[in-house]
């Protein structure tokens, strides 16, 4: 990490991250790290606030331009059958600064799967990069890629969460 970041708090969405310098488009911001879980294990977690579903985007070129291709959310649907091994990162207990980056409907960062120290495509590193030139002290955000009315609890009830990102494009719901 090369960019000096600051953690700050807003009433509407809790802790967030901003930069103490301006950030050129394409700059590496930080990794989203911590506990690596199989999806089945992640679905049992009570606290889904810090889950990042790695997904299956191995050869998805749309990642660079597509902020919507990486799923942040784990769909807590007990009826869903997951055939293959998928992984989720849980930063609820431990993590780095990445765990404090909030969601926005008009984000200025994007998440990218990166392989550099092993070749296992099911366990890439998740790295966040600037999607545009970002002025100093502007909050850093990425799109969590939740789908409205598609996030469910263990009883298959639809979960809802309001979005307070404040963007003109805001849909009002994170999920």
Ligand X SMILES: C[S@@+](CC[C@H](N)C(=O)[O-])C[C@H]1O[C@@H](n2cnc3c(N)ncnc32)[C@H](O)[C@@H]1O
50 binds ligand X (CB under 6 A): yes
Q: Is 147 in the site for ligand X (CB under 6 A)?
A: no
- What is the rounded CA–CA span in Å between residue 170 and residue 18? 20
Contact between 142 and ligand X (CB under 6 A)? no
> How big is the chain, counted in residues?
175
Task: Based on the shown chain and the rule CB under 6 A, indicate whether residue 102 belongs to the binding site for ligand X.
Answer: yes
The answer to whether 14 contacts ligand X (rule: CB under 6 A) is yes
Under rule CB under 6 A, residue 32 binds ligand X: no
Q: What is the rounded CA–CA span in Å between residue 112 and residue 124?
A: 9
Residues whose CB is less than 8 angstroms from the CB of residue 166 and which lie 6 or more positions away in sequence, other chains included: 12
Tell me the C-alpha to C-alpha distance, in Å, between residue 112 and each of 49, 55, 57, 62, 156: 20, 11, 9, 10, 30
- Closest approach, Cβ 124 to ligand X, in A, equals 19
Please report how close the Cβ of residue 60 comes to ligand X at its closest, in angstroms.
23
The contacts of residue 95 (CB under 8 Å, 6+ apart) are 32, 33, 34, 50
Q: Residue 8 corresponds to which tokens in the numbers above?
A: 């700050």
Q: CB–CB of 128/109 below 8 Å?
A: yes
From the list 87, 100, 110, 175, which residue makes contact with ligand X (rule: CB under 6 A)?
Answer: 100
Nearer to ligand X, 12 or 122 (CB): 12
- Applying CB under 6 A, which part among 8-16, 56-64, 73-81, 149-157 lies near ligand X? 8-16
Contact region for ligand X (CB under 6 A) — 19-27, 75-83, 115-123, 160-168?
A: 160-168
15 near ligand X, judged by CB under 6 A:
yes
Contact residues for ligand X, defined by CB under 6 A: 13-16, 49-50, 99-100, 102-104, 163-165, 174
């Amino acid at each position: 990490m090369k960019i000096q970041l600051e953690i700050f708090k807003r009433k509407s969405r809790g802790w967030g991250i901003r930069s103490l310098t301006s950030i050129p488009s394409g700059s590496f911001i930080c990794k989203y790290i911590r506990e690596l879980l199989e999806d089945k294990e992640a679905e049992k977690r009570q606290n889904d606030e810090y889950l990042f579903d790695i997904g299956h985007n191995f050869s998805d070129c749309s990642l660079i331009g597509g902020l919507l291709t990486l799923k942040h959310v784990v769909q807590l649907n007990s009826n869903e059958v997951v055939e293959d091994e998928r992984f989720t990162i849980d930063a609820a207990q431990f993590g780095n600064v990445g765990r404090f980056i909030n969601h926005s409907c008009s984000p200025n960062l994007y998440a990218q799967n990166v392989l550099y120290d092993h070749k296992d495509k099911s366990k890439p590193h998740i790295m966040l990069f600037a999607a545009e030139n970002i002025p100093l002290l502007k909050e850093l955000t990425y799109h969590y890629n939740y789908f409205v009315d598609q996030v469910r609890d263990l009883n298959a009830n639809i979960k809802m969460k309001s979005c307070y990102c404040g963007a003109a494009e805001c849909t009002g719901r994170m999920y």
